[in-house]
């Protein structure tokens, strides 16, 4: 045998020995490693971390809280098209192989050895092993553990069980885990309704959730989607015709600007706090499902109405200038990167979208969005920012190239440049009979300001508080026909114990003697003060407690007649509900039931359909007469637009504007729905000389009620016992024939002169202020 042959045999032997040694080492490693593998028996009953999910009364998801947004979905409920899309791109031979793709393992080994980026393809079973139990480090040790775990999973679980775990466990971007959650987040729809095109888009996410995100990287996501559709066709999951249709299908991605989105962030946060107080940290992992009294359609209507009201107010304000200025490079790619970066820092706020100005002139402004879409704005769309287009505009205000601005679509389909509002607002609607909260919007934008103005904002209610004073007066003998003088009042420092006080009506005029009914309808301050003088501030303070108000927040002074105390919008809704439901104080109710992921009921707390006599706050006849007075306000008074625009008579309410127009209110109801609107600045300041509750908050209320009451019949309450008609109006039976108060203050001096207080009267009024 030649030396060459001997050398060849020696090399072959060395190679065989080397291979045997590798096999032996790997075998020993596996024997040593296998006992150290994690126990996977719990995967047979797969229970991942599940978030707290909060639903409306009609089953629409309005919020979820947890590190992982996941909606656990059994494999038989995952649509076939979704499974097919995933298998086509991730593991086409999933149901044929034993869990390990040996060619893929070899590729991964070579890639690691060569320090290249390509790592080969792992099977779905290997991905489950890695995602559930192992780290993402790329080492041979971790790869051995992964292979062993893969065999163990294939031995203990069925293929469907493994695929179910994968499709619920995998991370898909935007805090979405699993395809059911991703479908809701990206497309705003349940997984059962997914199309071929949508399934292909989602199936592209596991490889790189950020790189293939259809919202932030639409071009790359589209390219991968088309590739997956082709793979689905190659694997015979779809026909050529289906593939062609899927490629042509336009995808409707869920956007914060979508008007059909359910914005219930303030409600959801309130519920999160309530549930956390009960369940602690496991609130975010136990998979609790909370069902509420909120009605999805009414919540959407409330959000749109309040938002539109605030934006309408903002259009009347002086333009404060762009949010930021950046230098735009001349290089196109660098310019696109600069625009993307700055708009990332200034995300869209619902229908208020961020954009960068490319060109600005007095008659035309061109802006660009993050997706490189250019929008030209002219004419009416430039009106809100005219001051920023002036040559005399200050540098911080002037619109120019590189300015970061807000744009919004108009009702006519065009575009306008606007600005982020500084003013805040609140809206709440409840069922008067049960206290069920049907809609709640705690501010303009939860992302910007998480302070819930419905429950946390203590503000002066202004004239919207007057009905509670009038209610007290009815118990003291007043009737709607009682005549009270709308003439000037003056209280000097000796009377008030401080500064002299000369209250005014809103319009600065005085109309002389008028009925109580007309005085409330026209919101006459002098009438309310004289009524409170007669009732007594301390008596009135005790009476307002019947409506759920905190007495200590309404000092027993005559200023209480003008709503100088402090209330929250939720308190006002509760108080007006007492008039609406016939005199019962019903506490607001939000959570109806809580269940675990399997549907087991943990809490069952439906709101009672009707109040009981134990909850009676005021007599039924008092509530009825007050309803009659509040109905007059919406028929002929400061809120006459309400009945006129809603074209129905069962509308009751009261406007409210505080001193210097710092708060604008409208509180009102239909017999089966009470709602309150407040608008103002967090740090109180004037809304504007011409801004009132009737002009600012009432349109929001009307817009909501127009939607909420559509199709509902007009409801008129029955006349309760103890009332009679007297003097052409309602009166308590015992006050109908001379027992009540027929007039008040009608002996005063001429209405155009301040009334000096006589010495003997001065002491009585001073006592009223102090008591």
Q: Is pLDDT of 559 > 80?
A: yes
Neighbours of 77 (CB within 10 A): 12
Asked if 273 and 66 touch (Cβ cutoff 8 Å), the reply is no
Asked if 153 and 99 touch (Cβ cutoff 8 Å), the reply is yes
Give 485-498 pLDDT, tens digit per residue: 999 999 887 666 67
The whole-number pLDDT of residue 102 equals 66
Choosing from 88, 354, 463, 726, the catalytic residue is 463
Residue 180, H or E segment: helix 179-187
Q: What are phi and psi of 421, to 5 degrees?
A: -65, 145
Q: Any residues with CB less than 8 A from the CB of 735 and at least 6 apart, and which?
A: 477, 479, 726, 741
Closest CA to 382 of 361, 401, 403, 402: 361
Give 718-739 pLDDT, tens digit per residue: 999 999 987 779 999 888 776 7
Q: How far apart are CA 406 and CA 426, in angstroms?
A: 23
Give 523-542 pLDDT, tens digit per residue: 999 999 999 999 999 999 99
Read out DSSP for 649-685?
S--EEEEEE-GGG-EEEEEEEETTEEEEEEEE-SS--
Give 372-406 pLDDT, tens digit per residue: 789 999 999 999 999 999 988 999 999 999 999 99
Q: How far apart are CA 408 and CA 418, in angstroms?
A: 7
Q: How far apart are CA 544 and CA 554, in angstroms?
A: 9
The whole-number pLDDT of residue 748 equals 43
Q: Any residues with CB less than 8 A from the CB of 575 and at least 6 apart, and which?
A: 468, 544, 547, 548, 549, 567, 667
Read out DSSP for 43-87?
GGG----B-EEEE-TTS-EEEEESSSEE----GGGS-HHHHHHHH
Q: Any residues with CB less than 8 A from the CB of 430 and at least 6 apart, and which?
A: 436, 437, 438, 573, 574, 577, 588, 673, 674, 675
The whole-number pLDDT of residue 535 equals 96
pLDDT confidence bin for 297, thresholds 50/70/90? very high
Q: How far apart are CA 166 and CA 19, in angstroms?
A: 35
What is the value of pTM for the model shown? Answer: 0.84
Q: Is pLDDT of 771 > 80?
A: no
The whole-number pLDDT of residue 372 equals 77
Q: How far apart are CA 753 and CA 76, in angstroms?
A: 83
Q: Tell me whether residue 210 is one of the annotated catalytic residues.
A: no
Helix axes 698-708 and 296-315, enclosed angle (nearest 10): 150
Give 194-234 pLDDT, tens digit per residue: 999 999 999 999 988 888 989 878 888 999 999 999 999 99
Asked if 687 and 661 touch (Cβ cutoff 8 Å), the reply is yes
Q: Tell me whether residue 376 is one of the annotated catalytic residues.
A: no
Q: Is pLDDT of 23 > 80?
A: no
Choosing from 64, 90, 184, 424, the catalytic residue is 90
Give 339-382 pLDDT, tens digit per residue: 988 988 898 888 899 999 999 999 999 999 977 789 999 999 99
Residue 744, H or E segment: strand 743-744
């Amino acid at each position: 045998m030649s030396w060459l042959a001997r050398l060849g045999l020696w090399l072959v032997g060395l190679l065989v020995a080397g291979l045997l040694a590798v096999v032996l080492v790997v075998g020993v490693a596996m024997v040593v490693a296998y006992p150290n593998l994690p126990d996977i028996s719990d995967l047979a009953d797969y229970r991942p971390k599940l978030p707290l999910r909060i639903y409306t009364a009609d089953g629409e998801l309005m919020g979820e809280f947890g590190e992982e947004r996941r909606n656990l979905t059994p494999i038989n409920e995952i649509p076939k098209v979704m499974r097919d899309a995933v298998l086509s791109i991730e593991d086409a031979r999933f149901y044929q192989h034993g869990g390990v793709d040996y060619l893929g393992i070899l590729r991964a080994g070579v890639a690691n050895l060569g320090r290249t980026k390509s790592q080969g393809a792992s099977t779905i079973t290997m991905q489950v092993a890695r995602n559930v139990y192992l780290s993402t480090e790329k080492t041979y040790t971790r790869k051995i553990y992964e292979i062993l775990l893969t065999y163990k999973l294939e031995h203990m679980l069925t293929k469907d069980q493994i695929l179910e775990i994968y499709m619920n466990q995998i991370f898909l971007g935007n805090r979405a885990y699993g395809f059911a959650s991703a479908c809701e987040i990206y497309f705003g729809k349940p997984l059962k309704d997914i199309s071929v095109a949508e399934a292909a888009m989602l199936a592209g996410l596991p490889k790189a959730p950020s790189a293939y995100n259809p919202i932030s990287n639409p071009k790359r996501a589209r390219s991968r989607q088309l590739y997956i559709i082709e793979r689905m066709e190659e694997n015979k999951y779809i026909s050529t015709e289906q593939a062609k249709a899927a490629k042509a299908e336009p995808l409707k991605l869920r956007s914060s600007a979508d008007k059909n989105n359910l914005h219930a962030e303030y409600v959801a946060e309130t519920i999160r706090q309530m549930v956390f107080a009960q369940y602690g940290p496991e609130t975010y992992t136990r998979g609790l499902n909370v069902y509420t009294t909120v009605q999805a359609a009414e919540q959407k209507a409330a959000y749109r109405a309040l938002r539109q009201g605030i934006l309408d107010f903002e259009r009347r304000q002086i333009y404060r200038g762009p949010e930021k200025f950046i230098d735009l490079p001349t290089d196109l790619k660098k310019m696109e990167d600069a625009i993307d970066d700055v708009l990332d820092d200034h995300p869209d706020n619902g229908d208020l979208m961020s954009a960068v100005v490319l060109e600005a002139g007095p008659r035309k402004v061109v802006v660009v969005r993050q997706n490189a879409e250019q929008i030209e704005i002219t004419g009416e769309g430039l009106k809100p920012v005219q001051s920023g287009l002036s040559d005399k505009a200050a540098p911080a205000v002037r619109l120019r190239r590189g300015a970061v601005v807000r744009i919004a679509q108009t009702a006519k389909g065009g575009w306008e440049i606007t600005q982020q509002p500084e003013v805040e607002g609140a809206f709440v609607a409840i069922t008067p009979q049960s206290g069920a909260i049907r809609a709640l919007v705690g501010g303009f934008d939860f992302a910007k300001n998480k302070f819930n103005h419905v429950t946390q904002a203590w503000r002066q209610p202004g004239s919207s508080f007057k009905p509670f004073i009038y209610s007290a007066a009815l118990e003291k003998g007043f009737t709607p026909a009682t005549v009270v003088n709308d003439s000037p009042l003056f209280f000097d420092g000796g009377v008030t114990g401080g500064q002299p006080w000369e209250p005014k009506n809103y319009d600065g005029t005085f109309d002389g003697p008028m009925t109580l009914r007309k005085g409330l309808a026209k919101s006459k301050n002098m009438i309310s003060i004289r009524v409170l003088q007669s009732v007594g501030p301390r008596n009135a303070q005790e009476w307002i407690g019947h409506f759920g108000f905190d007495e200590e927040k309404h000092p027993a002074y005559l200023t209480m007649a003008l709503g100088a105390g402090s209330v929250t919008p939720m308190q006002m809704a509760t108080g007006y509900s007492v008039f609406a439901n016939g005199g019962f104080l019903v506490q607001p109710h939000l959570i109806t039931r809580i269940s675990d992921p399997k549907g087991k009921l943990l809490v069952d707390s439906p709101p009672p359909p009707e109040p009981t006599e134990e909850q009676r706050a005021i007599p039924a006849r008092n509530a009825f007469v007050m309803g009659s007075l509040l109905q007059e306000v919406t028929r002929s008074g400061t809120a006459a637009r309400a009945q006129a625009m809603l074209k129905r008579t069962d509308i009751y309410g009261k406007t409210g504007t505080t001193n210097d127009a710092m708060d604008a209110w409208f509180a009102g109801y239909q017999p089966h729905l009470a709602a309150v609107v407040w608008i103002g600045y967090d740090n109180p300041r004037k809304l504007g000389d011409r801004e009132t509750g009737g002009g600012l908050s009432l349109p929001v209320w009307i817009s909501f009620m127009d939607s909420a009451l559509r199709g509902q019949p007009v409801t008129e309450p029955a006349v309760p016992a103890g009332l009679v008609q007297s003097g052409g109006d309602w009166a308590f039976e015992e006050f109908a024939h001379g027992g009540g108060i027929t007039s008040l203050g009608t002996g005063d001096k001429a209405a155009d002169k301040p009334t000096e207080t006589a010495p003997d009267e001065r002491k009585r009024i001073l006592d009223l202020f102090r008591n």
